[in-house]
Amino acid sequence: MRVCSLILLCALTAVAAESVVLSNGFRIRVDRHEVDGARVRLYTGAGITEIAADAVSAFEAEDRPETVPIATAASAPVAAPDRRDRIAAAAERHGLPEGLVRSVAAAESAFRADAISPKGAVGIMQLMPATARAFNADPKDPDQNVEAGVRYLKELLLKYNGSVSTALAAYNAGPGAVAKYGGVPPFRETQNYVNRVLGTYKKTAGE
């Protein structure tokens, strides 16, 4: 009995985390935060992001279990997870709405791991090579592709104070284009992309 208890303690540990509630109502999970005057530093697995303090309405503490796999002498083979299950798991890990991540994946690749765009974007979340390198991910591996894509989307949401439309525009056209035009750039492709993702997301949120 004691051995079983020790195994459970090793396999399941509480991980402190919190959700940052932005002024527009959007919630994003972070590891911790620091307030420095008019700025707030948010610590995530991807690094540190600073946002304006007035963009945050609250922080909510939470404890979530982190499962650590235990090696066994003869583990049964596990079937590869469905692409949509990967998305749900990654969204949960990083505190993003699952519907938003699904909507991005649907617009980017229709959930196809073998999708390659004319510009060289790869996989379910259509990672560009530079983005994949930034997150040390193999874009051809579905799990790494989704994980990196969700982390990148989370970074953009934090960067733009929870503005979903601006984050989506940066995901599509790049942060440089968003900075140049001070928001969603006047590119038909990007504007159609933002509208398509938001439209799908609103439908899933209403279900």
CATH number for the domain spanning 39: value is 2.30.30.100
Cβ-contact 46, 154 below 8 angstroms? yes
45-50 — which CB contacts under 8 Å span 24+ positions?
A: 45/94, 45/151, 46/135, 46/151, 46/154, 46/155, 47/155, 49/155, 49/158, 49/159
Residues 98 and 170 in one domain: yes
What does the alpha-carbon distance between residue 126 and residue 8 come to, in Å, rounded to a whole number? 38
Residues 184 and 104 in one domain: yes
Question: Residue 98 burial (CB < 10 Å; 0-12/13-18/19+)?
Answer: middle
Of 34, 60, 66, 108, the active-site residue reads 108
CB atoms within 10 A of CB 57: 12
Q: Tens of pLDDT along the chain (207 residues)?
A: 444 443 333 333 344 578 778 877 777 788 888 888 888 888 877 678 788 888 888 888 876 544 444 343 444 344 345 667 999 999 999 999 999 999 999 999 999 999 999 999 999 999 999 999 999 999 999 999 999 999 999 999 999 999 999 999 999 999 999 999 999 999 999 999 999 999 999 998 765
What does the alpha-carbon distance between residue 138 and residue 127 come to, in Å, rounded to a whole number? 9
What does the alpha-carbon distance between residue 36 and residue 75 come to, in Å, rounded to a whole number? 49
The answer to whether residue 108 is catalytic is yes
- pLDDT at res. 27: 76
Domain around 200: 81-207
Q: Is residue 75 part of a domain?
A: no
- pLDDT at res. 64: 52
Q: Is residue 6 part of a domain?
A: no
- pLDDT at res. 178: 98
Q: Is residue 160 part of a domain?
A: yes
